[in-house]
Amino acid sequence: MKNNLWLLGRIWKYVPGYVVWMAAEGIIWGINHSVSILYMKKLFDALGMGADFPAAAAIMLWYAVYVALFYIFHYWYWEVYNPRVREKLHVAMHGELFAQAVSIDLAKYDDPAFYNDFVWAMDQAFPHAVGLMEDTGKLINRVVASFTLTGVLLSVDTQMAVLIFAVAAVRIGLALLDNRVLLFRQEALNPLERRELYLNRVFQLPDYAKQLRVSHVTQLLFGELDKNVRQKRRVISGYGKKTALLSFAQNAVAVAGESGLLLLVLYKTMVTKEVGLGSFAVAVYATWKMAWLLRDMVDRLMKYHEHGLFVGKMIGFLQCPKTVTDGTQTACALESLTVQNLGFSYGAKGARALQSVDMEIRRGERIAIVGYNGAGKTTLTKLLMRLYDPDEGEILYNGRNIKEYTLESLRNHIAAVFQDYRIFACTLAENVTGGPYTDSQRGQVEKALLKSDFGDRLLRLPNGIQTGLTREFDPSGTQLSGGEQQKIAIARAFFKDADLIILDEPSSALDPDAEYALHQAVSAYADRKTVIFISHRLSTTRNADRIFMFEQGRVIESGTHEQLLAANGKYAYMFRLQAEKYREQPV
């Protein structure tokens, strides 16, 4: 109940009108259940007292007017107001969830248990919010109706009212057990369903299409799918017997209770003569209605239990503590960047990704970071941007620990092109700006695209920078090659006009000519800016002011290209090994 009240408070914050009208609709519907019985009682009483036809017709006419007004309100609420306010709630809730998804520590994505709950919260928050509202409205409806109908039943016979509430209490206990079993089943199924969604995506997304056709990986994936289905069947089968037994018990109690009530009414009408024929009709109708109301009330209360458990996941996600927190200082233009005794590992039991790293970078320098895969190069850049915080040591920005700066002000001075960059399903201009685009930005966007060597392709696009990219939502959207997409990712960095530019394998999808053009563009654009290159192609490092060679999370060599060649160490070995590919004779 605490979780449900928390969510109702959240809904009140987003759309208070939804809560008010939901309660009003519940009260009106609750009264309506009893109005129909009171109408029947009044009509029967009038006939029993010898009322004439016009008097009986007047009662029916007043009831018809009431029904017409009631359904006008009913259809306005469900067909006009409710769909509109639900969309408003959807936008507000997902806005908060999306904002939290962007702000939580990147390290949380490395935790499978948290990631399962994270996906669960994102997928289930809105359906359960709507479900809670509808169940609350229905619960108000049932409570109001039950109070009025209780008065009717008590006026006819006390024993019937007591029997109805006893049956409801037993069903509540059984439903609580059933709900807990269903939760345990869902928790067991959740990681299996996420794996199944991954396998579905592999066969749906174009990113995997070519690889599926030129390899035998489908056999592996089919095997994984079969294994996953078998695990799901074991879970469903294991919990299915328990849920079947509990469901049978709930229905058996309901049928026995309703049958017992009818027998009691018949006995008192036909044997003991305690209930007259007119009261019998009202009592039977009220009994059926009351039994249905209490049965549905129990179901709604059980859904509260289910909603509360799901809401707990949402609260855990929204209130997840952050380790990468804001500082209080505002970062100004970059003058120096110092790395001191830096150490980091992914997770408590992860291998050391960085250890004892020391570096100093000054404004305007071109820095190259090289090394084999897994050497720690990309990890260092993530720490520089505070996507993670180090386990040991510190990073100084203009002589001050970067933790002292606000995240926004620090990252505003850094532009990064990641190795796993993404193109979004929006216009080319919006992909470059990384957000909303206005016509006043046209010159900056086009300049950034030209500098990233995208100019020729831009001329061939049907709507210029307003061309929609990908066919995710637009069947006429433009599909770009890997190299073209990478140029757009680089244009983003140019558009941002930051002090520090980090290029993580920026030329991996480019041919040698395009790679050369890119480096010329970066050199021309950077001017007094600081640039950090991460690259496997050592041909791109020759013009760097300094080169840092990484191995197993450590800096093992540093210096200029000429100095490192003269040292004849790991860098020189890698450079000569790659150079052999461009010579007719081996070195």
Rounded Cα–Cα distance for residues 101 and 318 (Å): 9
Q: In terms of domains, do 96 and 214 share one?
A: yes
Residue closest to 182 by CA, chosen among 306, 295, 310, 314: 306
**What amino acid occupies position 388?**
Y
| Helix 2-14 / helix 112-156 crossing angle, nearest 10 deg | 100
pLDDT attached to residue 25 = 93
Extract the tokens encoding 275. 């209930």
Residue-wise pLDDT tens digits, 490-535: 898 889 888 999 988 766 656 666 666 676 777 777 777 899 988 7
pLDDT attached to residue 581 = 61
What mean pLDDT, rounded, does the chain reach?
Answer: 84
Residue-wise pLDDT tens digits, 90-128: 999 888 888 888 888 887 877 777 777 777 777 888 888
Domain boundary (318, 349, 382) is at 318
Counted domains in the chain: 3
Residue-wise pLDDT tens digits, 405-455: 999 999 999 998 887 788 888 899 999 998 888 999 999 999 999 888 888
Determine, yes or no, domain membership for 325: no
Q: How confident is the model at residue 342 (pLDDT cuts 50, 70, 90)?
A: very high
Q: In terms of domains, do 445 and 495 share one?
A: no
Q: In terms of domains, do 378 and 450 share one?
A: no
What pTM was estimated for this model as a whole? 0.67
Domain boundary (268, 285, 318) is at 318
In this predicted structure, the answer to whether residue 82 has a pLDDT above a threshold of 90 is: yes
Q: In terms of domains, do 210 and 357 share one?
A: no
pLDDT attached to residue 78 = 92
Q: In terms of domains, do 190 and 280 share one?
A: yes
Q: Are 154 and 277 in contact (CB under 8 A)?
A: no
Classify burial at 286, counting beta carbons within 10 Å of its beta carbon; exposed 0-12, middle 13-18, buried 19 or more.
buried
In this predicted structure, the answer to whether residue 206 has a pLDDT above a threshold of 90 is: no
Q: In terms of domains, do 389 and 314 share one?
A: no
Q: In terms of domains, do 453 and 550 share one?
A: no
In this predicted structure, the answer to whether residue 308 has a pLDDT above a threshold of 60 is: yes
* E runs forming strands in 311-417: 336-345, 352-362, 366-371, 392-397, 400-401, 414-417
Q: In terms of domains, do 46 and 186 share one?
A: yes
Determine, yes or no, domain membership for 301: yes
Residue-wise pLDDT tens digits, 327-338: 999 999 999 999
Q: In terms of domains, do 157 and 178 share one?
A: yes
pLDDT attached to residue 587 = 45
Extract the tokens encoding 91. 């936008």
Q: In terms of domains, do 71 and 202 share one?
A: yes
Extract the tokens encoding 389. 């915080």
Q: Are 545 and 504 in contact (CB under 8 A)?
A: no
Q: In terms of domains, do 554 and 408 share one?
A: yes
Rounded Cα–Cα distance for residues 269 and 113 (Å): 61
Rounded Cα–Cα distance for residues 343 and 85 (Å): 50
Extract the tokens encoding 204. 């749906």
Extract the tokens encoding 447. 């300049």
Rounded Cα–Cα distance for residues 119 and 317 (Å): 10
Among 293-302, 308-317, 373-382, the range with the most confident prediction by mean pLDDT is: 373-382
Extract the tokens encoding 244. 């079947």
Range of the domain at 461: 424-479
Determine, yes or no, domain membership for 329: no
Residue closest to 521 by CA, chosen among 459, 449, 578, 425: 449
Rounded Cα–Cα distance for residues 106 and 389 (Å): 10
Residue-wise pLDDT tens digits, 127-166: 888 999 999 998 899 888 888 877 777 776 677 767 766 7
User: What kind and span of H or E run contains 102?
Assistant: helix 82-103
Extract the tokens encoding 69. 């007004």
CA 536 remoteness from chain centre: 35
What is the number of alpha carbons within 13 Å of residue 499 lying toward its C-beta?
Answer: 18
Extract the tokens encoding 329. 């200082």
Mean of pLDDT values over 283-298: 72
Extract the tokens encoding 544. 């760097």
pLDDT attached to residue 161 = 67
Tell me the β-bridge partners of 533. Answer: 368, 503
Query: Phi and psi of 422, rounded to 5°?
Result: -135, 145
pLDDT attached to residue 217 = 77
Rounded Cα–Cα distance for residues 404 and 19 (Å): 42
pLDDT attached to residue 575 = 86
Domain boundary (318, 344, 366) is at 318
CATH number for the domain that contains residue 518: 3.40.50.300
Residue closest to 240 by CA, chosen among 175, 181, 197, 296: 181
Residue-wise pLDDT tens digits, 533-551: 887 777 678 888 999 999 9
Determine, yes or no, domain membership for 324: no
Instruction: Report which of residues 487 and 215 the model is more confident about.
Output: 487
pLDDT attached to residue 585 = 47
Q: Are 500 and 414 in contact (CB under 8 A)?
A: yes
Residue closest to 386 by CA, chosen among 110, 118, 103, 99: 103
Q: How confident is the model at residue 6 (pLDDT cuts 50, 70, 90)?
A: very high
- The side-by-side arrangement of strands in the sheet containing 392-397 is 352-362, 336-345, 392-397, 400-401
Mean of pLDDT values over 23-38: 86
Residue-wise pLDDT tens digits, 361-411: 999 899 999 988 888 888 999 999 999 999 999 999 999 999 999 999 999
User: Could you write out the three-class secondary structure of 279-339?
Assistant: HHHHHHHHHHHHHHHHHHHHHHHHHHHHHHHHHHHHHHHHCCCCCCCCCCECCCCCCEEEE
Q: In terms of domains, do 393 and 465 share one?
A: no
Q: What percent of the chain has pLDDT over 90?
A: 29
Q: How far apart are the first and last CA of the chain?
A: 75
- Mapped onto helix, strand or coil, the DSSP state of residue 359 is strand
